[in-house]
């Protein structure tokens, strides 16, 4: 296994984490992409643990380094360690070929979980990374909903999903029951929803209700 991080304490922590684990050994250590690539040229590794940001190397860092490893060492599984809260960047890292992403804010033991998982030829995302991607997915879905619905239709179905009925919503918004009912039906038709149960489930699963509460 290879470990590359420009913070020596991180490398040391990983060494201690797996010190007593059978069949897992760190044979390559590096502090930038240059050192990592040189080490991999001398000895192939089945797992590469790399910090996403490592300045100063000849082969770049982040996405560029992931792509390089995938191209030149395709048998190596890549575990990315990162502090980023940029969901798009994480998605790009996965698209580039990373097999696992673990936030440095998560427990150290999860790096071991990631190692074992990728050795079993499965992908792994730490809990903070999963939450970040889920939040981003919900935000993107809300944006898509807004593109399909008018502002009034969006307001009506959000209020309805929060437990309001057509009569109450009409009174709150100063519109007729007929108008509110028509806007609700129009919104459901645009979202391909047939029943109120589907509307409730969609509103909460997509994050629409939470977004409306926060005024997003």
Quick one: pLDDT at residue 211?
A: 44
Q: Is there a domain that residue 193 lies in?
A: yes
Q: Do 8 and 89 share a domain, yes or no?
A: yes
Q: Is there a domain that residue 139 lies in?
A: no
Q: Do 113 and 165 share a domain, yes or no?
A: no
Q: Do 165 and 205 share a domain, yes or no?
A: yes
Quick one: pLDDT at residue 205?
A: 73
Q: Which of 90, 125, 160 is the last residue of a domain?
A: 125
Using alpha carbons only, what angle is made at residue 176 by residues 172 and 181, rounded to the nearest 5 degrees? Answer: 95
Quick one: pLDDT at residue 10?
A: 92
Domain that holds residue 9: 2-125
Render the burial of 12-31: b for 16+ CB within 10 Å, e for the rest. eebeeebeeeeebebebbbb
Q: Is there a domain that residue 11 lies in?
A: yes
Q: Both tokens of residue 184?
A: 């609700």
Q: Which of 65, 92, 125 is the last residue of a domain?
A: 125
Q: Do 102 and 21 share a domain, yes or no?
A: yes
Quick one: pLDDT at residue 137?
A: 62
Q: Is there a domain that residue 13 lies in?
A: yes
How much is the pTM? 0.65
Q: Is there a domain that residue 48 lies in?
A: yes
Quick one: pLDDT at residue 59?
A: 83
Quick one: pLDDT at residue 89?
A: 86
Q: Which of 109, 125, 141 is the last residue of a domain?
A: 125
Q: Do 118 and 182 share a domain, yes or no?
A: no
Q: Do 162 and 121 share a domain, yes or no?
A: no
- Given the DSSP bridges, would you call strands 47-51 and 28-30 parallel, antiparallel or unpaired? unpaired
Integer angstrom CA distances of residue 159 from 25, 135, 144, 149, 164: 56, 21, 19, 14, 6
Q: Do 34 and 76 share a domain, yes or no?
A: yes
Average pLDDT, the chain: 87
Q: Is there a domain that residue 141 lies in?
A: no
- Positions of the chain with pLDDT under 70: 135-142, 207, 209-216
DSSP-assigned letter for residue 50 = E
Q: Give the CATH number of the domain where residue 116 resides.
A: 3.40.50.2300
Q: Do 108 and 154 share a domain, yes or no?
A: no
Q: Give the CATH number of the domain where residue 176 resides.
A: 1.10.10.10
Q: Is there a domain that residue 168 lies in?
A: yes
Quick one: pLDDT at residue 109?
A: 92
Q: Do 97 and 27 share a domain, yes or no?
A: yes
Q: Is there a domain that residue 153 lies in?
A: yes
Q: Do 174 and 208 share a domain, yes or no?
A: yes
Q: How many domains in the chain?
A: 2
């Amino acid at each position: 296994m290879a470990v590359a991080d420009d913070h020596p304490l991180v490398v040391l922590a990983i060494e201690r984490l797996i010190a007593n684990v059978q069949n897992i050994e760190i044979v390559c250590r590096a502090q930038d992409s240059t050192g990592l690539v040189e080490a991999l040229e001398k000895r192939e590794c089945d797992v590469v643990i790399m910090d996403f940001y490592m300045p100063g190397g000849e082969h770049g860092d982040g996405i560029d380094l992931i792509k390089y490893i995938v191209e030149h060492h395709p048998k190596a599984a890549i575990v990315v360690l990162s502090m980023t809260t940029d969901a798009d960047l994480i998605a790009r890292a996965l698209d580039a070929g990373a097999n696992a992403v673990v936030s440095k804010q998560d427990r150290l033991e999860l790096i071991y979980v990631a190692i074992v998982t990728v050795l079993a030829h499965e992908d792994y995302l730490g809990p903070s990374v999963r939450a970040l991607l889920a939040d981003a997915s919900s935000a993107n879905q809300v944006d898509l909903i807004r593109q399909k619905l008018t502002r009034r239709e969006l307001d009506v179905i959000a209020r309805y999903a929060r437990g309001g009925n057509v009569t109450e919503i009409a009174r709150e918004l100063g519109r007729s029951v007929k108008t509110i009912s028509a806007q609700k039906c129009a919104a459901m038709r645009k979202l391909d929803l047939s029943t109120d149960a589907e509307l409730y489930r969609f509103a909460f699963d997509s994050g629409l209700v939470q977004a409306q509460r926060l005024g997003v």
